[in-house]
Chain A
Amino acid sequence: MSATATFRICPTTGLKINAQAEALIKANAVAATVSLLIGGIAAVLVLLTRWQVVHLLSAAWFYRILTVHGMSMLIFFILFFEMAVLYFASAVLLNSRVATPRLAWASFGLMILGAVLVEWMMWAGRADVLFTSYVPLRADPLFYLGVILFAVGALIVVAIFFATLVVAKRERTYQGSVPLVTFGAATAAIIAAVALGHGAAIYIPTFFWSLGWMKVDPEIYRMVWWGLGHASQQINVSAMVSIWYLLGALTIGAIVLNEKVSRTAFVLYILFINIASAHHLLVDPGLPPTWKVWNTSYAMYLAVLASMVHGFTVPAGMEAGQRLRGYTKGLFEWLRKAPWGDPGFSALVFSIIIFGFVGGITGVTFGTEQINIIAHNTLRIPGHFHATVVAGTALAFMGITYYVIPLIFRKQVAFWKLAKIQPYFFAGGMFIFSVFMTFAGTFGVPRRHYDISFSRAPFDVQFNPAVDLVMGIMALGGLIAAVGGAMYLLITVWSVFFGKPLTADAAPGMYGVPQGIQTPPKPIPETATSHGPTPGTLVLVLVFLAAFVAYYFVNWKLLSDVWRVG
């Protein structure tokens, strides 16, 4: 097989790029973009319905489109993109061939088949069950079958990723240890195997249940389903953090502060994966408090620690790299003089900030057993995860796309001026959207709800009068983000299908090429064997910690004011 593998040498990075890997990355990226388009249209329709001033859709179509939004974004967009990341982190970064290209294409076909089946069922109104499809809510058996086919396809890609690591090691395509980004992607792949295993364990019985062959207990469903549902968010976190390190390296030549610390933090994601699943069941009737307290934390919250470690080491690596290159003035010259016009860089910074400050803090707070009483199934929950998975993961994916287009598709990025401001629109919009959505949830506004004016309900429901304004601002933020998302789609689709090919000698000042490729970060002087201190980052993380502590204890205070319950 290796005899037939063809390679090209990337003129920018010097990496040996396998033609099959490149084609697989392209195919998965295109599938991800199509999913994003469908999910994005659904997002706008959902938003314009929840914004009571417009209240666009009918009830039936609202729940249908909300199902489409969840599946297209959280499953299809994200996983197709992550498949591309896996091929990139294994074959491309290690100068290797793909282990089994034919099987890789077969699994891609399986994933497409599954996705098409699921989309068909949803749009035909045969699966109005939302993303979670809680049993005994019933969808057409083909819906569950589609999810199973998609998951099996993804699981095969995960296996191919590991096989490729073995091939690269055997064929000595790299020296030393695998790069940190590959290591991070490997943890994402391990978590994916765990998550997809849970997926098989729940969707196969549910498929049989939908055919009337067996029973599925609603609480068992919730527990095992979240082993897929949240574990897959942990895939996203691992993949996103890997892309943080990748973008840091490509845009400004960020160094790895300490390989041991960063790699151990990635391993913690694997070991503490299940705590994320447990925190969906904190106010469930089927589980005792000891189970809830233990499984949401394992007494130490080490997955939270892992994110707090990366939240330090990624910016500190950027700071240390910049300082070694001479940006040493004051606390923040390294950040001020960074390439803010490079969409890869701005997307990276906003992804870290919003993921940490909004998504991370709210997530850990709401995932506390008792505080969940005042958060469960309110808008606080989607407020939290739009900050993590959209402003965090999706924005990081957008940032890396501006490098994938020239490096893998070998095209100039079209509408370059638009591309430069795209992360600002998307991040700004998502920031407003997620903060105000969370805020609305604080007043008890339910998530997944067609009409919070309760115009046809038997009793009126009065929320705090501020809710209308808060949700109006949320809608505004959502629309700004939607404009940012549309920009992204326009830029990527245009670049890939109609873009100008990139000539081998990407001259400085060339249109549509990110700064990190035009003028790659200066190599660090050979004499430097260790990095200096990173005081700027320390200040930033202490500000973060202060915000975390404040939000956490404000929520205990809010909880102490509600009815006594136990």
Chain B
Amino acid sequence: MNTGIQSPRGIWWKPADRTEKLWLSIAFGWCLVLFAMMPLWHLKGAQNPSGIRHRVDPSAYARRVNEFIKQYKVGEEAGHAIVEPPPGSDVYVMGRMWAWEPILKLRKGVEYTLHLSSLDLNHGFSLQPVNLNFQVLPGYDYGLRVVPTEAGDFRMVCNEFCGIGHHLMVGRVIVVDNAGGGK
């Protein structure tokens, strides 16, 4: 028998004892569960980061967002357009130093395809207080099918460092109750 700083002599490739084998089996079984949960959640769960992903030129994306804003703009707040897209449509949000554009007005219980991209640096899309977080990169369009499951006034915080004004980067998402007729 030796410690970890002594050279083992002779053949040390020996079978593990019962307790070790027991723990090894339990731990390995648990590791398989850890893996299995991920494909399982893709089949049965309602929250997956899959999305529709493709490359996009940042200036082309900016044009698409501005078109989207022009098309569905319903108001303005503090210099930011408020946009209410039709239920089920594609929704475009852009991150740039240091704002999320535009302000979204969505309906509860309706699926939208929320496109996220950046015009400059990495940004972090963090919807609060729901706590949904996605990485946003320039040159990549991340189209996530989202269903707001609650009505309320939400915030898009930036949670990836993007320069000196990073902490000022906050956007807004308003979700209205479909049945309540809040339009």
Cα of A548 to Cα of B31 in the assembled complex, Å: 11
Q: How large is the interface on A (under 10, 10 to 19, 20 to 34, 35 or more residues)?
A: 35 or more
B residues within 8 A CB of A565? Answer: 46-49, 132, 144-147
Determine if A373 and B20 form an interchain contact, defined as CB atoms under 8 angstroms apart: no
Tell me whether A212 is interfacial, beta carbon within 8 Å.
Answer: no
Q: Contact partner of B47 among A297, A529, A564, CB < 8 A? A: A564
Tell me whether A8 is interfacial, beta carbon within 8 Å.
Answer: no
Tell me whether B39 is interfacial, beta carbon within 8 Å.
Answer: yes
Q: How large is the interface on B (under 10, 10 to 19, 20 to 34, 35 or more residues)?
A: 35 or more
Tell me whether A454 is interfacial, beta carbon within 8 Å.
Answer: yes
Tell me whether B160 is interfacial, beta carbon within 8 Å.
Answer: yes
**Taking each of A93, A246, A373, A534, which has the highest tally of chain B beta carbons within 10 Å of its own beta carbon?**
A373
Determine if A376 and B5 form an interchain contact, defined as CB atoms under 8 angstroms apart: no
* B contact face: mostly helix, strand, loop, or mixed: mixed
**Taking each of B117, B129, B166, B167, which has the highest tally of chain A beta carbons within 10 Å of its own beta carbon?**
B167
Cα of A249 to Cα of B7 in the assembled complex, Å: 12
A 160-200 to B, binary, CB cutoff 8 A, 1 in contact else 0:
00000000000000111111110010000000000000000
A residues within 8 A CB of B20? Answer: 257-258, 261, 312-313, 316
Determine if A448 and B1 form an interchain contact, defined as CB atoms under 8 angstroms apart: no
Q: Contact partner of A246 among B4, B99, B141, B164, CB < 8 A? A: B4
Cα of A147 to Cα of B132 in the assembled complex, Å: 34
A280 → B minimal CB distance (Å)? 9
Residue on A nearest B158 in the bound complex, by CB: A446
A residues within 8 A CB of B8? Answer: 176-177, 179-180, 256, 259
Determine if B146 and A217 form an interchain contact, defined as CB atoms under 8 angstroms apart: no
Q: Contact partner of A179 among B6, B30, B167, B172, CB < 8 A? A: B6
Inter-chain contact total with CB atoms closer than 8 Å: 330
Q: Contact partner of B155 among A301, A461, A534, CB < 8 A? A: A461
A residues within 8 A CB of B172? Answer: 459
**Taking each of B22, B34, B147, which has the highest tally of chain A beta carbons within 10 Å of its own beta carbon?**
B34
A residues within 8 A CB of B16? Answer: 257-258, 260-261
Cα of A452 to Cα of B18 in the assembled complex, Å: 52
Tell me whether A543 is interfacial, beta carbon within 8 Å.
Answer: no
Cα of A225 to Cα of B147 in the assembled complex, Å: 33
6 nearest interchain CB pairs? A245-B4, A285-B142, A446-B159, A249-B3, A259-B12, A564-B147
Q: Could you list 16 further interchain pairs (A-B, Cβ under 8 angstroms) beyond the known A373-B47, A373-B134, A533-B18?
A: A180-B8, A222-B135, A256-B2, A288-B50, A292-B49, A312-B20, A368-B38, A377-B124, A378-B126, A450-B166, A454-B168, A457-B168, A533-B19, A545-B27, A564-B145, A566-B47
Q: Can you report 13 residue pairs joining A to B where beta carbons are below 8 Å apart?
A: A219-B139, A245-B3, A250-B5, A254-B4, A260-B13, A285-B51, A287-B53, A444-B131, A531-B1, A562-B132, A563-B130, A564-B111, A566-B145
